Structure formats: C-alpha cells, structure tokens
C-alpha cells in the first residue's frame, strides 16, 4: 500500500478482509442452522451501507473510501457478491443512501502478515491530515490491543471501531457491534431472532 497519506479520503472504512470473510461465513453458517433456512448472499454494497450507518454516517452525499486489506492467498469474500477482492471490489464505486462509496483493495502480496499491513494502514490513516472520519473493521478479538495502541491518540478524528463483542473499557473512539450490519445484510430480522 502506498505510504502517501495525502491519498487518503476524508472518510474511510478500513477493513481486514480476512476478518470479514471469517465473520460473514461464520454468521451465515450458524444462523442458517439456528433459523433453519437458507440465508441470502450478502450484497457488499448493502453491507458497506449498513456499516456506514452504524458508524454514524447519515443519509447524504458523503464520499467514503472502503479500503480492503486482504491476503493474496484468499482474494475472495465467499458469502458476498461481488466477491473478488482483486478485481470486482477494486477501484469500483456505488451510490448508496449515505453517498458514494469507492472500494479499493490492497493485497499483502505474500510480503506482509495481514495484521501488520492492516495496522500499518491504520497508522497511516491516523497520521493523514486528510482523514476526518474512520470506521475500523479489524480482527479486534485477535489484535485489538494493537488497534487500541494505534488509536490511543485519535488526532481529532471521528473514529468508530467495529468488533464482535461489546468493549467495556473506556476508549477514545466509539465502538459498535459488527454483528448488526452483517445480520441485516444477511436478511435476518429481529422478529426471527425473538422466536428462536
């Protein structure tokens, strides 16, 4: 990934695609079993819109860059459409209720560990004068302490970190549960969950 922080947009969603693949596949498999029905393939534009809304964006004409950091050996989001990180989700854009979301994908090229590349990208975003708002979708349960360390000084940025479980300690950023946008994108309703 280019180290030029001036290339970052004002609004970014930084995504560890390996984590997203793990969590979406796991949710789809488990909730199909719980609900006893086949769940929809996740439309990536719908998922990114739900993440944006849960991250504090309101309907409008925002421009948001969704940056996927992915492993060259796993370039697919298997339960999403489109799914190919190397081409279908790279340098593509769509319009949503929150505005335009531009997707870019960056492979580790088998040079770096995904965790390290994600954290380096996070540091660059924190240091960028261009970035004002960040939504962070990393593997918080695996390297959350390192995310916290990078984000301890938010440099005045509006930051929301998504994770699977609630964070009890006080942080200099907002936290949200990644489960909600994923469940909505899978077509799971609260009514269904109440009956199970």
Give which of 109, 73, 63, 68 is closest to 89, Cα–Cα.
68
pLDDT band at 1 (very low <50, low <70, confident <90, very high): very low
Nearest to 125 by CA among 173, 88, 180, 61: 173
Average pLDDT value for residue range 13-21:
97
Look at residue 5 and tell me whether its pLDDT is greater than 70.
Answer: no
pLDDT for 78-108, tens place per residue? Answer: 999 999 999 999 999 999 999 999 999 999 8
| Burial class for 37, CB neighbours closer than 10 Å (0-12, 13-18, 19+) | exposed
HEC per residue, the chain:
CCCCHHHCCCEEEEEEHHHHHHHHHHHHHHHHHHHCCCCCCEEHHHHHHHHHHHCCCCCCCEEEEEEEEECCCCCECCCEECCECCCCCCCEEEEECCEEEEEEEEECCCCCCHHHHHHHHHHHHHHCCCCCEEEEECCHHHHHHHHHHHHCCCCCCEEEEEECCCCCCCCCCEEEECHHHHHHHCCCCHHHHHCC
Q: Would you kindly state where each structural domain of the chain is located, as residue ranges?
A: 7-194
Could you tell me which of 84, 145, 153, 101 has the C-alpha nearest to residue 125? 153
Instruction: Quote the crossing angle between the two packed helices 114-127 and 140-151, to the nearest 10°.
Output: 30
Q: Tens digits of per-residue pLDDT, 110-163?
A: 788 999 999 999 999 999 999 999 999 999 989 999 999 999 988 889 999 999
Give me 167's structure tokens: 């964070």
CB of 140 within 8 A of CB of 176? no
Q: Which residue has the higher pLDDT, 189 or 168?
A: 189
Q: Which of 35-39, 63-67, 151-155 has the lowest mean pLDDT?
A: 151-155
Q: What is the gyration radius of the CA atoms in the chain, in angstroms?
A: 16
pLDDT for residue 171: 86
């Amino acid at each position: 990934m280019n180290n030029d922080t001036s290339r970052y947009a004002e609004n970014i969603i930084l995504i560890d695609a390996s984590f997203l693949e793990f969590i979406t596949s796991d949710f789809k498999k488990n909730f199909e079993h719980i609900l006893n029905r086949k769940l929809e393939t996740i439309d990536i534009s719908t998922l990114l819109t739900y993440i944006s809304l849960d991250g504090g964006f309101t309907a409008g004409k925002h421009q948001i860059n969704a940056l996927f950091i992915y492993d060259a050996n796993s370039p697919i989001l298997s339960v999403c459409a489109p799914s190919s990180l190397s081409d279908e989700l790279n340098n593509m854009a769509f319009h949503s209720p929150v505005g335009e979301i531009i997707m870019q994908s960056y492979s580790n090229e088998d040079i770096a560990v995904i965790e390290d590349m994600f954290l380096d990208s996070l540091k660059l975003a924190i240091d960028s004068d261009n970035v004002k708002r960040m939504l962070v979708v990393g593997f918080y349960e695996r390297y959350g302490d390192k995310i916290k360390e990078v984000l301890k000084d938010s440099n005045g940025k509006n930051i929301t970190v998504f994770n699977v479980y609630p964070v009890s300690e006080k942080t200099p950023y907002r936290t949200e549960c990644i489960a909600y946008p994923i469940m909505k994108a899978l077509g799971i309703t609260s009514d269904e969950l109440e009956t199970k």
